[in-house]
Chains A and B, each alone.
Chain A
């Protein structure tokens, strides 16, 4: 069996749970698997950023400085109830994301299945509507798949594609200031009202939270009462 990421042959660890097929055999070798950094310790109540390794000046009580800034702005206050993520961003993750997203190794998503699902059910449950962040048509054509939707599919819950996105320049080439200033690229395309619904937005990464807040805002305008987000990575 070869590792899904590094492609070297490895002997998957077999245990009773594997034998009885309660647990799937890991598709990563133990070296790759252990290179991921899971989120743990104290985190910001809103954006889920870990406080460990953060300068004390960036923390105010149970929130981080960024989230305090979002909350001070009347336009953005409470647009996003909370964000939770599975892994921290590190050099390894950067490589894996490059391989997965930019070089199009779609299958890598399998490697996240177990922990992605487990973390999801720790913070949310099946009553939430699952809404993946869409790609613009151009970007989808370029990339071949929507990474957010690929992640959402891991949950094996109904997926609600109720957002569409215009094409703009790539987010990762912009500064925070630029991102904040950009107009909302999302539109609500759902048929039914979202009155009183609770929603979890799914995306691959939470960097500044602008994208997710823009999407959340559109959904809020469509009537949803409570919008959270769940991402694979928190940078």
Chain B
């Protein structure tokens, strides 16, 4: 068994996946793997089969138990806080326990006084009685969007509890468990850093000491992520090794080796809780504990076995971990580094010893990074060579010393903090410079199943070749990357997607073989008037959170045309962000009366600055690409104003005729009908989100749409779509697809045939 636990770990991966997916493919992989063992590692065959069965049954059992005992109609709840609260502006979030079931609690604070009150009142261990409502967590509303419901379910949470109010007289502190006491201790420590440390360093020191990233600047965090440096801000093997080493070194001055080992074995679980119990911390501490325990028994454990045992233990405790991004990345990279130790040991120079781990880590994490973040950074390896030693030998030790000294006497820690501040400010500058000005990242999009297999195969070949010092083996990985980057251009499918951007429009059109990519409008978040205490550090933005992730997940690197139908925020609000993120070739604006709103003016200025070709279009303009023609039917370049100045587009895609109407109203529709008395369309993008002032009887009688798509936000303040419009459409037996009810509406086609699909069931 020695040296072979890794094969059991792999068996566990396949059997849990098969138990979850229950698909033929998953089963096929499990069977192929067991066959592989039968042929190549016969001694492990039986053990692996037994382990696979056990993991399979274990998961099936756990999954069956993972159910709710609560129901919609509950209104009164007695909950116990099991986690520290997070307050962001006016939103309070935490996890609570009701009758032994975990719930996600979201509460909107009503006043700044209440905010202060609650932040001191609600500590782990508090029991409260509230009135509130239960809601199922959201399903993804757009393709490749985050699956919040599944995410929470994997954390054994099935409901979101929204209390009407949290009153102090209904809350009392019960005696907290040790776990909850540790959490409170952690909160205290985090707050201490916030109070004593220089502002620039707070976020990073909190991340390094307590694994807490909430105070980190959003742009900075994004920068670290983009450049592949984010692992430095997670507490991982490197931290734990350094810390355990240092503590052990101190302890053996005072105690015997054995006592020191036992003390560390007790301290490490405490450390896990204090650092937020992220998968990477658990992994690192568990391997450290296994190593120490083996050492105590005067045994040695091969590193690969140690890691595999930690992996298996974590999966036994919680098989859903397998889907945790942090878990996946942490284990993948560590496995790869251990297996590649031969390659790293080939070289003697320090520079190469920095280069190889950076390359191996990047290479092994590549499929995961591309799958979750849709892009890869080319800086990763070089920057890691600088930042890994910087963090391990300067920033981390300085942070630990500063925090330790600060706990004793804040005054003495000043010189350390000063030095730390200098280093962190410098490193932040470097990260921001590279991530914003020279990101050098390649957007690839979410890889298909076959591409993922291609990645894994190519990376394995590259690692095997590198062991034989055939470094060109890495070329295989580049071939797969190139294939991935070119895959849209050999894809015969075209698609039209009405993204769910809430209240607003955003329509994505991709022609077959990616002959062209267009975006009609971008959606936009309406600015809200908020008081300072209500403002969140990270504001939700439809461009940043919906449109850009969607485009990136589709592997879009450039837009052939960005069509802004008119000047409203809900149509062009996110345009600026999109122009900054993607290479936009042409920007189409309505000719209209020539008056531009400030928002539009800003956009045009940015376009000039980025040398984007701006086209003023009106009736009579047309273009074609990949055998498809697009006609601008409106405005007629006279004196159209506001909504009636919207660009109206007509095109035939996938054997279906489409009319994209922007926000035109009755006057615009009338003019359209008069100008094109024979105009018909199969699919009508209902103008102005289904407002009663558009989509008139006259217009519908003429266009005779079979399908009407309404792009509208849930519970929007304008009460769109109007019941009268719905009635008019229903009267004509038109199929209505609404983004507020169906999520994104998608039409995928090959040649003249296609199918509509919606995100929500």
Contact = CB atoms under 8 A, between A and B. Distances in A.
A12 B5 CA distance: 13
Nearest to A1: B2
A15 B41 contact: no
Interface in B265-308: 300-304
Given A16-B339, A16-B460, A21-B40, A11 B467 contact: no
Nearest to B459: A16
Contacts of B341: 13, 15
13 contacts: A1-B3, A11-B3, A11-B300, A12-B302, A14-B3, A14-B338, A15-B467, A16-B340, A16-B460, A16-B467, A17-B467, A17-B468, A20-B460
A1 B339 CA distance: 18
Interface string A1-31: 1000000010111111101111001000000
Contacts of B460: 16, 20
B339 A19 contact: yes
Interface residues of B, number: 20
B60 interface: no
Given A12-B3, A25-B3, A17 B464 contact: yes
A14 B304 contact: yes
Given A12-B3, A14-B3, A20-B460, 13 more contacts: A9-B300, A11-B300, A11-B301, A11-B302, A12-B2, A14-B302, A14-B304, A15-B340, A15-B341, A16-B340, A17-B468, A19-B6, A22-B464
A22 B300 CA distance: 26
Nearest to B304: A14
B342 interface: yes
A26 B411 CA distance: 57
Contacts of A25: 3
Contacts of B463: 16
B342 A13 contact: yes
Interface of A: 1, 9, 11-17, 19-22, 25
B473 to A, nearest CB: 11
Nearest to A14: B304
Interface of B: 2-3, 6, 40-41, 300-304, 338-342, 460, 463-464, 467-468
Given A1-B2, A25-B3, A16 B464 contact: yes
A11 B41 CA distance: 18
A125 B338 CA distance: 36
B287 to A, nearest CB: 15
A12 B342 CA distance: 12
A20 B464 contact: yes
A196 B537 CA distance: 87
B2 A21 contact: no
A168 to B, nearest CB: 44
Contacts of B2: 1, 11-12
A10 to B, nearest CB: 8
B607 to A, nearest CB: 50
A19 B36 CA distance: 12
A11 B340 CA distance: 15
Contact of B339 (A9, A12, A15, A22): A15
A25 B40 CA distance: 12
Nearest to B462: A16
A15 B342 contact: yes
Contacts of A12: 2-3, 302
Nearest to B339: A16
Contacts of A11: 2-3, 300-303
Contacts of A1: 2-3
Contacts of B41: 21
A175 B460 CA distance: 55
A60 B717 CA distance: 101
Nearest to B463: A16
A66 B342 CA distance: 42
A74 to B, nearest CB: 48
A9 B294 CA distance: 14
A60 B399 CA distance: 70
A197 B306 CA distance: 54
A15 B338 CA distance: 8
A184 B303 CA distance: 56
Contacts of B464: 16-17, 20, 22
Nearest to A9: B300
Contacts of A15: 339-342, 467
Contacts of B304: 14
A28 B755 CA distance: 62
Contacts of B340: 15-16
Contacts of A17: 464, 467-468
A76 B743 CA distance: 91
A15 B466 CA distance: 11
Nearest to A11: B302
A5 to B, nearest CB: 17
A15 B300 CA distance: 18
Contacts of B467: 15-17
A11 B294 CA distance: 13
B331 to A, nearest CB: 14
Task: Determine which residue in B40, B301, B340, B464 has the highest number of CB atoms from chain A within 10 A of its CB, and name it.
Answer: B464
